[in-house]
Amino acid sequence: MTSRDGYQWTDASGLIRGVPSIGVIEPASNINDNNQLYDVIVVGGGYCGLTATRDLALSGLRVCLLEGRDRIGGRSWSTNIGGYPFEMGGTWVSWGQPHVWREISRYDMRDQLECSYDFSQGVNHFSLGSEEGRRTMSHEKADRLITGATLKFVNVDGQHGKQIMPQPHHEFLNPAVRKYDKLSVADRIEQIKDDLSPDELTALQAFVLLSSCAKPEESSFYEFLHWWALCNHDYAYCIEYLIKYKFRGGQSSFAIKFFEEALSTNRLSYAFNSPVAKISDCDSYVELSTRSGQKYKAFRIVSTIPLNVLNDISFDPLLALGKQDAARVGHVNMCAKVHAECRNPELRSWAGVRYPDNKLIYAIADGTTPAGNTHIVAFGANHNPLKPEQDIEQTKRAVTGLVPAHIERLVFHNWVDDEFAKGAWFYPAPGLVTERLDDLRRSQGNILFANSDWAVGWRSFIDGAIEEGARAAKGILDDLRKNLVQPKSSRL
């Protein structure tokens, strides 16, 4: 089955819009009665929505899942081309991410993980590029370089961030940490620039901006400290948790498990290709209208709409001012993620950065395709934006500007122009998290808002989406019990 999302390119085919994915759901809807009153409507079929849908259906509620796309997964989905999965969005998982690991264990998929990189074969080097030129070094030397620079960057307390943020899942425990949300990445680099060598500066900028994929002055220093604390205040754990293990069959092989388990309860109704236009809270129930004019009703709604899209939906009553303001500001990650299948098997052990003069700033060899080619995955930031489908030759130059490769195929999804995302994974500007996180997490009437964008733990990650989906399901169940609302399909 082919999704209308995503692009692929080869010399022979040219640019093709739409790629195959097991996350595409057919039939697109199983709803026969459009007048049904549901216990809960879940808006959005990403990991947050899938988790909430599954947990609520398993608890005996009649659930309706509405999704604007033709597939599940949201910002984390995969395509299989030529027998090889390319990850279009969120990719890597780890046992250091507790909610993800619980679900991997639940679905008995521990043996489905594989290591992205393999430095045991091929050129086995790291490329460091800047406006001054490009040179190579060993991965060990690169690790020492990035580690040293990052430790200087995070060392605001003499303990490399451990004192000011000892518990990243309870980040406000120490009020002293809040002041760092007034700083941007650019502000913090300015504070330490005299202690950085030119190589350290280049490597640090590329590594830190891989987190935000935004301009340094737009990127929150506080949020990087949060990522750093989640990774045990250690660069080696950053690599271990953030970019090492992925599913052999792709993210969609994981997401489909959630959907299938919910469907097996016979309490799940769903409709894909159903973008939401309006949500009206009518006190005793909530009415939702899609762009096509179809209406759905339920006692409660779980909205998993991402931050950058939240203000595109009409709410009645209006969203609380804190939510409106946060959505107006939005998050800053406008990442371009590009996969390149390259006719260079020796590049299997390659990785590198180039900043600031290239449209892709970080890349790593991520696998070997069945054809024996190397799969390179590369990331760009909005300091030098790239919209891959608009100029394939420019995109190819951005790849080869990082890595000297013979490109056979390009695969990508333009998240910036995706109407249901308007950006990649969440990364805030200074001030957004400490000023608005509580507003975003707060329910409003019969509507509960859940999304990885405002998770307290692995915010912006698959783990954060699952955390939020579980919170939403429990919140709905607690709310129905408290208000003595009798669900249609069971008694609580």
Binding residues for substrate: 379
Query: Is the previous residue joined to 27 through a cis bond, with omega within 30 degrees of 0?
Result: yes
Burial 256-283 (b: 16+ CB within 10 A, else e): bbbbebbbebebbbbbbbbbbeebbbee
Contact 290, 276 (CB under 8 A): yes
Contact 246, 114 (CB under 8 A): yes
CA distance 276 to 158: 49
Helix, strand counts (H, E) of the chain: 12, 21
Strand partners, 131: none
Half-sphere exposure for 60 (CA within 13 Å, toward CB): 9
Angle between helices 221-230 and 198-212 (to 10 degrees): 90
What six digits make up the tokens of 104?
Answer: 């991997």
Beta strands 314-316 and 276-281 are parallel
Q: Which helix (H) or strand (E) holds 354?
A: strand 350-354
Strand partners, 142: none
Residue that has been written with the tokens 């947990």 in this structure: 55
What six digits make up the tokens of 422?
Answer: 């308007």
Burial of residue 133 (number of CB atoms within 10 Å: 0-12, 13-18, 19+): exposed
Burial of residue 175 (number of CB atoms within 10 Å: 0-12, 13-18, 19+): exposed
- E strand intervals along 235-274: 245-247, 268-271
What six digits make up the tokens of 89?
Answer: 């969005």
Binding residues for FAD: 276
Contact 412, 339 (CB under 8 A): yes
**One-letter identity of residue 34:** N
Binding residues: 276, 379
CA neighbor of 52 nearest in space, from 294, 266, 347, 304: 304
CA neighbor of 54 nearest in space, from 316, 250, 267: 267
